A and B are shown apart, each in its own frame.
Chain A
Amino acid sequence: MSLGLGLNMAKTKVSGVSFDADAQAFIDAASITDATQKDAINTLVIALKDGGVWVKSLALYPMVGGTAAKHKFNLKDPRDLNAAFRLTFFGGWTHGANGALPNGTTAYADTFLVPSVDIADANDGHLSYYSRTDNIGSYMDIGCSGLSSSFDLSCKFTGNIGVVAINMADSNTFAYSGTTNAFFIASQNNVNDVRRMFKNGVLLNNSSVAQNVNPDNSIAVGARNSGAARSFFSARECAFASAGLGFTDAEMLSFYNAVQAFNTSLSRQV
């Protein structure tokens, strides 16, 4: 919107540089002062909006800034509140310039995003995890379960299987022996019973599994949250994670391109 005074209400003028207002809000909340990080965040937000990803995402965690205090913020809503899906870190995380590394034993982060409450349609959802680690283990990188349903993603699980579940009675597993240092997106886009896993913007698996309800526990980053306990603690360094509604194929590719460009700007791409 323009006021006719040369002012653009969608941007904030800071030291002669105009940033997207949402990017600036995150930068301010997370106290990001590094110029490279600020530029990368701004470019990321613009790309996510242009690609149709922003409007469909409820929580976007860029893991930028190097500390738990900065990594906790949700790019989509950077208020320091559970209601804003701000992360709370539990257990043994190691935070640094490359992201947040869970220890595979006790570490997880609560998003406070509950699929049964925050995502209206059980046929519509996504999870993503940018892993900088290539390994295998009984790791659930992001997700939850409840009401006999799972909503989770594992880049690769023990036994060389990929795991993707978007409101399913059982986690959908498929044979996968490839690398795990990549950007994985699990998505269902209002096509009944079809769950898809993408790796670096390319379809990895497309499966038809019976529809179930949204789980009633909050999504965890770095583990599966089953309410009474967390399980399958991951040991994969996270350089981005997200949750929200499902994507089209074009949006999936836009999402990958935006996040990959973001991490490349920060010299931590895989």
Chain B
Amino acid sequence: MIIVYKLTEIQKDIIINKRFDSDQYFNPIQDIDNNWIISKEEVDQSLAIWGWVKNLPAIEWKPKPEFL
């Protein structure tokens, strides 16, 4: 089971395309239930200024189906 971290719409708007470390940017996406989420890697690697993301609720990753 892959764990991801759930954002509110407002939180998503705050972090989208913002740097979470010196050379990497947040990429919030929506799961199958249209929750906005970021990954464990983004949470773990984010700098201290983004401390609040480490308190986001953890949920199971449920991707939207994709087809070629």
B24 is an interface residue with CB less than 8 A from chain A: yes
Residues in B neighbouring A163, C-beta threshold 8 A: 68
Residues in B neighbouring A88, C-beta threshold 8 A: 25
In the assembled complex, the Cα of A105 lies from the Cα of B37 at a distance in Å of 10
Residues in A neighbouring B22, C-beta threshold 8 A: 68-69
In the assembled complex, the Cα of A141 lies from the Cα of B13 at a distance in Å of 28
B66 is an interface residue with CB less than 8 A from chain A: yes
> Number of residue pairs across A and B with beta carbons under 8 Å?
69
Residues in A neighbouring B25, C-beta threshold 8 A: 88-91
A257 is an interface residue with CB less than 8 A from chain B: no
Residues in A neighbouring B61, C-beta threshold 8 A: 105
Task: Give residues 8-63 of B contacting A (CB, 8 Å).
Answer: 17, 21-29, 37-42, 45, 61, 63
In the assembled complex, the Cα of A215 lies from the Cα of B29 at a distance in Å of 23
Contact (A91, B42) CB under 8 Å given A68-B24, A69-B23: yes
B27 pairs with A108, CB closer than 8 A: yes
B26 pairs with A105, CB closer than 8 A: no
A86-119, CB under 8 A of B: which get 1 and which 0?
A: 0011111110000000011111100000000000
B68 pairs with A157, CB closer than 8 A: yes
B39 pairs with A91, CB closer than 8 A: yes
| Chain B interface (Cβ < 8 Å from any Cβ of A) | 2, 4, 17, 21-29, 37-42, 45, 61, 63, 66, 68
If A105-B61, A170-B68 are given as contacts, then 12 extra A-B residue pairs at C-beta distance below 8 Å, sorted by A number, are: A68-B21, A72-B23, A90-B24, A91-B29, A92-B27, A92-B39, A92-B42, A105-B37, A105-B63, A106-B27, A106-B38, A106-B42
